[in-house]
Chains A and B, each alone.
Chain A
Amino acid sequence: MDAPAIATEHLTRRFGQLVAVDDVNLRVAPGQFFGFLGPNGAGKSTTIKMLTGLLAPTGGRMEILGFDLARNPVEVKRQIGVVPEGMALFGRLTGAEYLNFAARMYGLDRETAAKRTAELLDFMDLASQPKALVADYSHGMQKKLALAAAVIHGPKILFLDEPFEGVDAIASGTLKAMLQRMIVRGATIFLTSHVLEIVERLCSHVGIIHKGRLVAQGSLEELRAGVQANAAPGSAGAPAGERLTLEEIFLRIVGGERIADQELSWLK
């Protein structure tokens, strides 16, 4: 069996007394489209920040493509692409200048950088405003540009933190098509999203983090089977043979029903 593309051992991150990520052991195989889910504040962004070098863990270790991230950060970063929460764009550059800059920071030579920049701008439909600064781009255009910068060097793993947030249907279609094309070509994608329908449609495997702990991990079928097997007889668990959606699986794992049943004292 291939070495995992992403593996963490006892990954932990504390912020003072708060344990944001608690002893997470994650394994993502090469070529998987992995959806990383969790309620707000569960530790998704903290985990992705640690996996991409934006945040130091307080415990545990991370291996990306067999490299220890703490020991070989530069080697790891050479092989990954990232679209972080804030997109990491430089507002005072044009789209072309930014992609050119990103390509060369990833070690591409000048000619290759220029060639790929032109191709990506065209593919992402960003070439129509060559003089516009990134700061003047719409949110969707910025997302597409951030994704273009993340893939310009042909990464083996792509980390995407909420890539579809604030993106319209047209831009979203372009992004999805591109991500699926990357999977076909053997890349691994690690994605966080609150839109469970998108994760269900795109991802082959899912990890669910809740209160900092990884509470489920596997293919969608494995998670579905796990939820049905754990449902107590006579409880609200799914009847045998019923096909649960990812949203239902997610809610049962993180205890969503309990919250929905709660009442506020002043909301009578």
Chain B
Amino acid sequence: MAEVTPAPNTISLREQFAAIAQLRWNIFVHSLRTVRGRMEMVSWIFIGFGYTVMGVGGTIGLGVATWYLVSHNQEEWLAVPLWLIFLVWQLLPVMATAFTENFDASNFLRFPLSYRSYFVIRMAYGALDPTTIIGCLWLAGMALGAGVAAPSLFLWVAIVLLAFAALNILLGRMIFSWIERWLARRRSREILIVVFFLFIISFQFISPMMQLYFHHYGHSRQPPALALATQLVAVQRFLPPGLASSAVSLSVRSRFALALGALALMCAYSAAFLGLLNIRLVAQFRGENLGEAPAPAAVRRGKETVAAGWELGGGLSGAVAAMFEKEFRFLSRSGPMIFPLVMPVVILVIFRFSFINLRNGSSFLQSHAGFAFPIGAAYALLILSNISYNCFGSEGPGVQFYYMSPVRFREVLLAKNLAQAAILLVEMVLVWVAVALLFSPPSIGITLATLAGAAFAALASFTVGNLMSLYSPKKIDWAAFGRQRASGLTALAALGVQATCMGMAAIAVLVGVYFHQTWPASVLLILFAAGMLRGYTYALSRIDEVAIGRRETLIAEICRAS
């Protein structure tokens, strides 16, 4: 009887890790085969430089701060830098997903990995995160600072900070794995993303609320919040950064049992995070299916009448109108894309209550209300760049339709830009109303100059955004938390355009200031916008050639499996 030669009885963990490391290296090397890959590499060098400055600068700064605190017997204040590290470690990966790369290690589950191997792989990928490297560097800086100030303390501080680093890695991995669980289904994803944005927005209000509070109570009286702050300080002692700080400060005061207790409690937190992470990883390892189930829908019988599509008029073709309608329907069903659009108004509210002059109680923008509308408009443009610089990112396989149908890409992109312009217009109106309510109605001169500046910047964004959408597309996968990385090249291009537009707008403003009038600035910005319109139409007239030339890259990237 025929028999199959059995597979090896033991699978070497080291061999598997080596194979995975080889795989990652091969993927990296092969990515450099294309021009786009090499350009991405260059952009990553710039981004890496930013991270290096952040890492090295923070290491030195925190090292010096720790040295100062330890040598002045103020170890309890170590909680401040530790809280800073903790917040950066946990929040930066969430906020800067464009600049972090995470690989979906669950892809390896098809291979005969033991659970232990799978767990280690997941943790190893977490440890390769730039934030983790920066966090570890900062903690190393603190340990060195403490060691220089009190050499006998070095070993204990190193142990405590090592435990703190492990806790941060476990917590970060645990949060990501659970959020991915919730993001896997569309409905829970929409809810989660709205909650996430509300969290981010509420976070922004901390500073203005504090300023308001201090303005209200002043410095002479004892504000009731001081009692609350005292309570918060007591509570934070039982949270990881506070525990790490206590473990160090208590050991300095020779209260070793309590110091050990603080470390043990921190380890207990780690164990809890490990347990929660374990629940997720075990479920993944056992092959849970988080795919989208068909949504239950009302069953109707009989022929359905279908409403006719939108019409735009103005000589625009039916195809442009259909695209325009499609963009709005897409947007209305994309919580992650639509929710940031409220941010310009939120920012104005934050500004309203920030930078308060304690003498007269007015905020910066109340004293300089002329800046409010331009600031709100600039923020609206910034938010719009999320959509305009990678406008095919969320299309999925549908992007092939544009190449199959008898429509020119200039029509497709024109419709997309019209939809973006319409969103910007609505945002500008909202911002104008918000400025009028929060501060004072912007003058006609300011309104005109801002509208002209916004038109100029929007046209510049559309021109470059259309090209970047074709040259450097990136599939947006909302179900994969931390893996919807934007192209680094696109991020740099967007920054470049925004900086250039701001520079040119500043020149126009300076001209206005020179003449003590707003109209010269408006005229200049209208001229800039007119020039940019010419550039936009020229780029649009040539976009079909670019789209045809880039079709393979675009389709391959946007249609790729997650």
Q: Interface residues, chain A, CB within 8 Å of chain B?
A: 52-56, 74-78, 82, 84, 86-93, 96-97, 99-102, 104-111, 113-115, 117-119, 121-122, 127-133, 135-138, 149, 266-268
Chain A residue at minimal CB-CB distance from B411: A105
Q: Is the CB of A102 within 8 A of B405?
A: yes
- Chain B interface: which size bin? 35 or more
Q: Is the CB of B406 within 8 A of A132?
A: no
Q: Is the CB of A89 within 8 A of B552?
A: no
B213 to chain A, nearest CB (A): 43
Q: Is the CB of A86 within 8 A of B295?
A: no
Q: Is the CB of B298 within 8 A of A131?
A: yes
Q: Is the CB of A128 within 8 A of B301?
A: yes
The residue from A75, A89, A96, A137 contacting B306, defined by CB atoms under 8 A apart = A96
- Listed A/B pairs (8) with beta-carbon separation below 8 Å: A53-B404, A75-B406, A76-B406, A87-B397, A89-B396, A101-B309, A128-B297, A267-B2
Chain B residue at minimal CB-CB distance from A122: B303
Binary interface encoding of chain B residues 316-351 relative to chain A, with 1 for a CB under 8 A from any of its CBs, else 0: 001101110110011001100000000000000000
A86, B292: Cα distance in complex, Å = 18
Binary interface encoding of chain B residues 138-169 relative to chain A, with 1 for a CB under 8 A from any of its CBs, else 0: 00000000000000000000000000000000
Q: Given A107-B318, A268-B2, does the pair A129, B326 have CB atoms closer than 8 Å?
A: no
A39, B116: Cα distance in complex, Å = 40
Give the secondary structure class of B's interface: loop
Q: Is the CB of A88 within 8 A of B322?
A: no
Q: Is the CB of A114 within 8 A of B309?
A: yes
Q: Given A92-B333, A114-B308, does the pair A136, B292 have CB atoms closer than 8 Å?
A: yes
Q: Is the CB of B552 within 8 A of A55?
A: yes
A92, B406: Cα distance in complex, Å = 22
The residue from A54, A87, A104, A137 contacting B294, defined by CB atoms under 8 A apart = A137
Q: Given A55-B551, A96-B304, A107-B406, does the pair A88, B397 have CB atoms closer than 8 Å?
A: yes
Q: Is the CB of A91 within 8 A of B396?
A: yes
Q: Does B222 contact A (CB under 8 A)?
A: no
Q: Chain A CB within 10 Å — which of B325, B326, B559 has the most?
A: B326
Q: Given A74-B406, A118-B305, does the pair A129, B299 have CB atoms closer than 8 Å?
A: yes
A75, B405: Cα distance in complex, Å = 10
Q: Chain A CB within 10 Å — which of B297, B334, B551 has the most?
A: B297
Q: Is the CB of A100 within 8 A of B309?
A: yes
Q: Does B4 contact A (CB under 8 A)?
A: yes
Q: Is the CB of A78 within 8 A of B555?
A: no
Q: Given A56-B551, A267-B2, does the pair A104, B319 have CB atoms closer than 8 Å?
A: yes
Q: Is the CB of B330 within 8 A of A93?
A: yes
Residues of chain B within 8 A of A136, CB atoms compared:
186, 292-295, 297
Q: Interface residues, chain B, CB within 8 Å of chain A?
A: 2-5, 186, 292-295, 297-309, 311, 318-319, 321-323, 325-326, 329-330, 333-334, 394-401, 403-408, 548, 551-552, 555, 559
Residues of chain A within 8 A of B4, CB atoms compared:
266-268
The residue from A75, A97, A118, A135 contacting B186, defined by CB atoms under 8 A apart = A135
Chain A residue at minimal CB-CB distance from B331: A92
A137, B291: Cα distance in complex, Å = 12
Q: Given A130-B304, A267-B2, does the pair A110, B318 have CB atoms closer than 8 Å?
A: yes
Q: Is the CB of A100 within 8 A of B306?
A: yes
A56, B549: Cα distance in complex, Å = 8
Q: Is the CB of B294 within 8 A of A127?
A: no
Chain B residue at minimal CB-CB distance from A108: B318
A88, B292: Cα distance in complex, Å = 18
Residues of chain B within 8 A of A105, CB atoms compared:
319, 322-323, 401, 405-407
A132, B300: Cα distance in complex, Å = 12
Q: Chain A CB within 10 Å — which of B322, B408, B552 has the most?
A: B322
Q: Is the CB of A113 within 8 A of B309?
A: yes
The residue from B2, B311, B398, B405 contacting A90, defined by CB atoms under 8 A apart = B398
A97 to chain B, nearest CB (A): 6
Q: Is the CB of B295 within 8 A of A132?
A: yes
Chain A residue at minimal CB-CB distance from B310: A110
Q: Is the CB of A53 within 8 A of B397?
A: no
A76, B4: Cα distance in complex, Å = 53
List 6 additional contacts besides A88-B401, A137-B294; criterion CB under 8 Å. A74-B408, A93-B330, A105-B406, A114-B308, A127-B303, A135-B186
A61, B489: Cα distance in complex, Å = 36
B184 to chain A, nearest CB (A): 13
Q: Is the CB of B300 within 8 A of A130?
A: yes
Q: Is the CB of B306 within 8 A of A128?
A: no
A104, B325: Cα distance in complex, Å = 11
The residue from B304, B308, B400, B551 contacting A121, defined by CB atoms under 8 A apart = B304
Please list the 6 inter-chain residue pairs (A to B) with the smallest Cβ-Cβ separation, ordered nearest first. Answer: A104-B322, A90-B398, A86-B397, A129-B297, A110-B308, A77-B406
A16, B399: Cα distance in complex, Å = 25
A195, B306: Cα distance in complex, Å = 36
A87, B519: Cα distance in complex, Å = 53
Chain A residue at minimal CB-CB distance from B560: A86
A21 to chain B, nearest CB (A): 14
Q: Is the CB of B299 within 8 A of A128?
A: yes
Q: Is the CB of A127 within 8 A of B408?
A: no
The residue from B5, B297, B307, B399 contacting A268, defined by CB atoms under 8 A apart = B5
The residue from B305, B307, B397, B548 contacting A56, defined by CB atoms under 8 A apart = B548
Chain A residue at minimal CB-CB distance from B552: A55
The residue from B300, B305, B318, B408 contacting A128, defined by CB atoms under 8 A apart = B300
Chain B residue at minimal CB-CB distance from A111: B308
Q: Is the CB of B297 within 8 A of A106?
A: no
Residues of chain B within 8 A of A127, CB atoms compared:
300, 302-304
